[in-house]
Chain A
Amino acid sequence: MNIVVCVKQVPEPTGTNRMDPNSLRIVREGIDAVLDPADEFSIEAALQIVEAQGGTVTVVSMGPTRAAEAIRRGLAMGATQGIHISDPALSGSDALTTAKVLAAAIKRTNPDLVLCATESSDAYTGMVPGGIAHFLGLPQLTFAKKLTVANGKATIQRQIEGGYQTVEAALPALVTVTGSINTPRYPALKGIMQAKKKPVEQLTAADLGFGPDEVGQKGAKERVLGWQPAEQRKAGQVVKDDGTAATVIADYLASIKVI
């Protein structure tokens, strides 16, 4: 089983993101960056499959030089190898370009299964996995909270509004996973040491056949016009519970006529 997992390095999710008023892009300098926690679930899912059935797990990421750290983290968890697409020309790419570039890199590995998170924890568009599936000509099984791969078929339990669906597709297929699919392992020290020696292929946009004008900010179809701070809710009264919290809340509910 040849599995590719798409990963992204994102600003530390508990940190405060801000925007550069000139470039109108997210400020990444001086901000801690981590492997998107959402991607740990897809890496774990891939590892569990190859541990049971044999095969390789390739972690692929498009991102600046330091995104290599996110790939290393995946390798430390146990992935076999990495692909890092890094090129200044790709900076500012939109979801569609990201999907095209990732698909072009993934295609070279001829995978049986491609795994992605449902959405990244910084941009949240959720448009990239479906785009990759389209460009690779694969069916997409989405929002998986359970995944089994057997007899040339992937079967998932797909989260939906009021319950779930069982959905299946013949391999090769792309699957997006949610956070309930497993509990990702922590990289062990041994894994971290081994990860340093695992191969990571470096690719540029040109290596994948993209010209500088079709990718990055130039290739993006969306354009930011401007921004303003959103109207924020203000903090109200904060009370430390001294045993009377129930009365305080009940009084408040009475004041707004809920009880």
Chain B
Amino acid sequence: MAKIWVFAEIAEGKVHRVSLELLTKARELGEVTAVALGPGASNHTAMLGEYGANRVLVHEDSAYAEYLAEPAAQTLGELVTKENPDLLLIGTTYNGRDIAARLNARLNCGVITDGASITLDGTSLKVSVPWYSATTLVDVTIEGGTTKLVLVRPKSFTSEKLVTPITPQVESLNITFDNSVKRAHIVESVVQKSEGPTLEESTVVVSGGRGLKQAENFSLLTALAEQLNGAVGASRAVVDAGWVPYSYQVGQTGKTVKPNVYIAAGISGAIQHTVGMKGAKYIIAINSDADAPIFKFADLGIVGDALKVLPALTEEIKKRKG
């Protein structure tokens, strides 16, 4: 049976949701080992078993929480070299990408990023990767007998608990770090709380882009989102411009959302943005440019000024709700 390893990322005292999605996928592919690193990691072993881990390798060391990438890359590198799993799955998160890049170089192995489907026939791997703004699905493989590294974006797979949870075999790792991996020092973490339903959970997302002209106009989105009990998102351009915090960003470098309805106001539909929202069931776009790429795949497109349409829509919904 193939040996499938999953990097179980612990963030803010929880297992990152993408790691649970990966465990769910991994158990279809073979015997699953989860690697959980960082303070409090051992608190999550039961949960990792619920999602399919037969075995959990745990190392509670504060270095993982205090230093970027290098402690985790070193530990994973040593473990992979020792046990040579067939696959190592890592979620495309900020930390996941940092660790994967370092690990890829360290192991001198093949890596596939943005895997959308994964099949394993014996040891022969096939991963589908969306290219060119997801217009083409390319099947990629890594040959040879060494461990293959695959990165997967959040929400590529659905997480599902096992009907009968596994009580995983837990092994505590005995590793001590020297200072060579303690270099990129995290001095402070600032969490910016956003109100209302979260982008990832909400069934309605109302997002804005450059077409809203200025930061103040984001309040038009908030008002509409409130009426629809939805969350507010944003394109990279306006997040980069500092209108709203990064936690609002939908797209390649931001969040992937799959709501029932996605309303895009003043967003042209650049690749960077669309990879994060194309999974929505219904897409409604409002844009003043009739040639905006977003109209090529929106279910309902309005060629018009979002600054006029948004408040009118909010009023109309209020009226209908009575």
Contacts and interface: CB of A to CB of B under 8 A. Distances in A.
Given A163-B246, A167-B68, A239 B185 contact: no
A250 B316 contact: yes
A131 interface: yes
B184 A140 contact: yes
Contacts of B101: 126-131, 133-134, 140
A222 B313 contact: no
B62 to A, nearest CB: 15
A259 B230 CA distance: 12
User: Does more than half of chain B's interface fall in helix, strand or loop, or is it mixed?
Assistant: mixed
A238 interface: yes
Contacts of B185: 167-169
Interface string B253-287: 10100001101000000111000001000111010
A258 to B, nearest CB: 5
Contacts of B270: 13-14
B134 A230 contact: yes
Contacts of B186: 165-167
B22 to A, nearest CB: 17
A119 to B, nearest CB: 7
Nearest to B309: A245
B140 A239 contact: no
Interface in A32-79: none
B304 A241 contact: yes
Interface in B74-96: 93-94
A241 B242 contact: no
Interface in B92-121: 93-94, 97-98, 100-102, 104-106, 108-114
A133 B100 CA distance: 13
Contact of A245 (B187, B188, B286): B286
Contacts of A178: 240, 253
A108 interface: no
A236 B264 CA distance: 14
Contacts of A235: 295-298, 301
B235 to A, nearest CB: 11
18 contacts: A96-B110, A119-B252, A130-B97, A162-B194, A165-B186, A166-B187, A169-B184, A180-B239, A180-B240, A221-B109, A226-B138, A226-B139, A227-B138, A228-B136, A236-B300, A241-B308, A247-B316, A249-B263
